[in-house]
Amino acid sequence: MKEEKKTNMITENINENKEAGEAEISLVHAEKSFGKTQVIRDLNLTIQKGERLILLGPSGCGKSTTLRMIAGLEELTGGDLYMGGIRSNDIPCGLRNVAMVFQNYALYPHMTVEKNITYGLKAAKLPQTEIDSRLEEVLEMLDLKPYRDRKPKELSGGQRQRVALARAVVKRAPYFLLDEPLSNLDAQLRMRARKELVKIHEKYHQTFIYVTHDQVEAMTVGQKIALLKDGELQMLDTPDRIYNQPANVFTAKFIGSPAMNIVKVLYTCGRIHLGYESLLLPDDWKKILDHQKETEFYLGIRPEHMQLSPSPISNGLKAVVKYEEDYGKEYGVYLDVEGQEMIAICTDFIPERGQTVYVRPTFKRFHFFHRNSEKNLGYPKDTENGTYHVFHKEPIPSGKYVVDQEVEFAGREAI
């Protein structure tokens, strides 16, 4: 009786939540351990109602575990989960009103496409007219009408993936959770499927959480990206900000292909030194580095922001070509700069292996990171009023790293 009463109370709360139309998700100091192994560490993350969020990171970073905790497939070891403002740690999976797409699709092999899609609706005892209406809509949307009477074994991988998506879409749940649903598809099918996912979200505006290790998927599908490493949130922001203003060295190197160049530099008297090579910095960068206690930093610059010349140039770096990679429309040229490896993207001038070249970097595209913490120092913004961007050391309660707070130069050190 107590369990029945508890379930009824939970259901009433969920129904009230549905009526309010809330679909925000918040993880507050969430932790997850398997035995003595901790896989999620003090995770603070908020997904706004109707937002398309990507959980991104390398294998083993905890992104799928985070998704499963939200779905109710894994229990939190510590902290809290709120869905629509309701603490949901103890709400059973079946009462969380989520639709989930798994990596292996999990279709019933003995059922047709139509029955796979409508099985959950019939179990929920929806009126047949409503079931038929939703079925026809999703078959049309995902181009599955020719296959409605086929069984999964008679479908290609791309078709099975669309059936799994259709089964989740027809539920019309406020939460749409996807665990690497495109990883089994080839490149062309993945591109098409990404477009379909965005189209589905734009039509229904679910709170959409998508797990992937593929940065291309993250950048093209996501409105926000939450980047994880070893169960800890590294950065939460738009794809543009994550690419162009990474919060730390890990973020800078993980996003982008080829990865951002990260080299050790020494800063003295307005110049950065790489061994015997040096660059004179513009005044706006000098102001930022002059406010630091230390003089050794990591310099980050993306390969596409480096130009090569066969002849000496002013305020450039001398380098030796190690080897080249042919990307089709461009080349990746690997360089040795005073014992540190860098890569530049070239389209016109393609040097030969062993050749001495000269590198002209784009200074406004520089990124500087603390040597010890590896956190971003910030960026020049407006040299006239003396303000620049900084990154907070810690995420604010929502889990977001703030990257646009203005901090005065005078009497203030960068965080």
Per-residue confidence (pLDDT) for residue 23, from 0 to 100: 65
Is 281 found in the same domain as 236?
Answer: no
Assign residue 192 the CATH number of its domain: 3.40.50.300
Q: What angle do CA 219, 224, 230 make, to 5 degrees?
A: 85
pTM listed for this prediction: 0.84
Q: Do residues 116 and 178 both lie within one domain?
A: yes
β-pairing, 356-361 vs 317-326, is antiparallel
User: Quick one: pLDDT at residue 415?
Assistant: 27
Separation between Cα atoms, residue 235 and residue 228, nearest integer Å: 8
DSSP notation for 177-231: EEESTTTTS-HHHHHHHHHHHHHHHHHH--EEEEEES-HHHHHHH-SEEEEEETT
Residue 177 lies in a domain: yes
Closest CA to 7 of 128, 101, 95: 95
Return the residue matching tokens 């959409």: 208
Six token digits for residue 45: 């993350």
223 and 133 share one domain: yes
Same domain, 282 and 199: no
Angle between helices 157-169 and 187-204 (to 10 degrees): 10
Give CA–CA dist 303/326, Å, rounded.
Answer: 14
Domain identity same for 125 and 56: yes
In a domain, 251, yes or no: no
Report the distance separating Cα 166 and Cα 138, nearest Å.
6
Residue 415 lies in a domain: no
We report the CATH number of the domain holding residue 303 as 2.40.50.140
Share of the chain above pLDDT 90, in %: 73
Buried-exposed string 285-323: b where 16+ CB fall within 10 A, e elsewhere: bbebbebeeeeebbbbbbbbbbbbeeeeeeebbbbebee
**By the 8 A CB rule, do 259 and 243 touch?**
no
Domain that holds residue 110: 22-244
262 domain residue, yes or no = no
Domain C-terminal end among 227, 244, 261: 244
- pLDDT value of residue 397: 34
**Domain assignment present for 255:** no
- Domain membership of residue 413 (yes or no) is no
For residue 181, what pLDDT is reported? 86
Residues 93 and 192 in one domain: yes
**Do residues 361 and 296 share a domain?**
yes
Q: Is residue 265 part of a domain?
A: no
Shared domain for 317 and 278, answered yes or no, is yes
CB 320 within 8 A of CB 356: yes
Same domain for 277 and 226, yes or no, is no
Task: Provide the β-strand partners of residue 25.
Answer: 47, 83
Count up the domains in the chain and report the number: 2
Query: What local confidence, expressed as pLDDT, does residue 22 receive?
Result: 58
In tens, the pLDDT along 15-34 reads 444 443 456 999 999 999 99
Spell out, as residue ranges, where the chain has pLDDT lower than 70: 1-23, 382-415
In the chain, the amino acid numbered 394 is E
* Domain termination site, one of 208, 229, 244: 244
Q: Is residue 249 part of a domain?
A: no
Residues 183 and 84 in one domain: yes
On whether both 238 and 280 belong to a single domain, the answer is no
Angle at alpha carbon of residue 115, lines to 109 and 121, rounded to 5°: 125
**Same domain? 220 vs 71:** yes
